[in-house]
């Protein structure tokens, strides 16, 4: 079990690092990873990114499926941090080794269990690609 958690965590960290490089390579964006974002008692996003005009706080997930669930608390904490930081709250998901998709938390679909879900189909339909997000 510990190995599974470590591999899952490593996959998430690798995804975050991939996005950090993608932002910096644009030349007009900066991006940092918030260490321990998922293990602190205080709300904290995975990534902070800005081009000086647009500020983003993001929860980042890499999944081996076509859907990803977010708890109500995860979304609430991200939105709280974004509000206090003066930034837009977004989720970023990379499905099954494909491309990155992004969606503002305000657009997430609520489940019957009062959590949130994003699907690959929905992200392709109304989500943003990295290029669209950073325009």
Residue 37 annotated in active site: yes
Q: Which of 37, 39, 50, 106 is catalytic?
A: 37
CATH number for 24: 3.40.1350.10
d(CA 96, CA 84): 33
pLDDT at 1: 47
Tokens coding 109: 């679909």
pTM for the model stands at 0.89
How many Å from the N-terminal Cα to the C-terminal Cα in the chain? 41
Q: Are strands 30-33 and 47-50 parallel, antiparallel or unpaired?
A: antiparallel
- What's the domain count of the chain? 1
What pLDDT is stored for residue 13 in this prediction?
86
Place of tokens 């939105």: 79
Distance separating alpha carbons of residues 129 and 87, to the nearest angstrom: 19
Residues 53-112: pLDDT tens digits?
999 999 999 999 999 999 999 999 999 999 999 999 999 999 987 999 999 999 999 999
User: What gap in Å lies between CA 31 and CA 12, rounded to an integer?
Assistant: 16
What is the domain extent for residue 104? 2-133
Q: Which residue has the tokens 């099954």?
A: 96
């Amino acid at each position: 079990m510990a190995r599974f958690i470590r591999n899952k965590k490593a996959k998430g960290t690798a995804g975050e690092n991939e996005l950090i490089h993608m932002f910096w390579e644009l030349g007009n964006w900066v991006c940092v990873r918030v260490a321990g974002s998922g293990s602190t008692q205080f709300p904290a996003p995975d990534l902070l990114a800005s081009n000086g005009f647009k500020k983003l706080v993001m929860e980042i997930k890499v999944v081996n499926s076509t859907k990803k669930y977010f708890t109500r608390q995860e979304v609430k904490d991200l939105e709280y941090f974004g509000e206090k930081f003066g930034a837009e709250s977004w989720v970023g998901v990379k499905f099954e080794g494909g491309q990155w998709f992004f969606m503002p938390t305000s657009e997430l679909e609520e489940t019957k269990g009062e959590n949130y879900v994003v699907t690959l189909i929905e992200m392709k339909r109304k989500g943003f690609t990295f290029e669209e997000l950073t325009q």
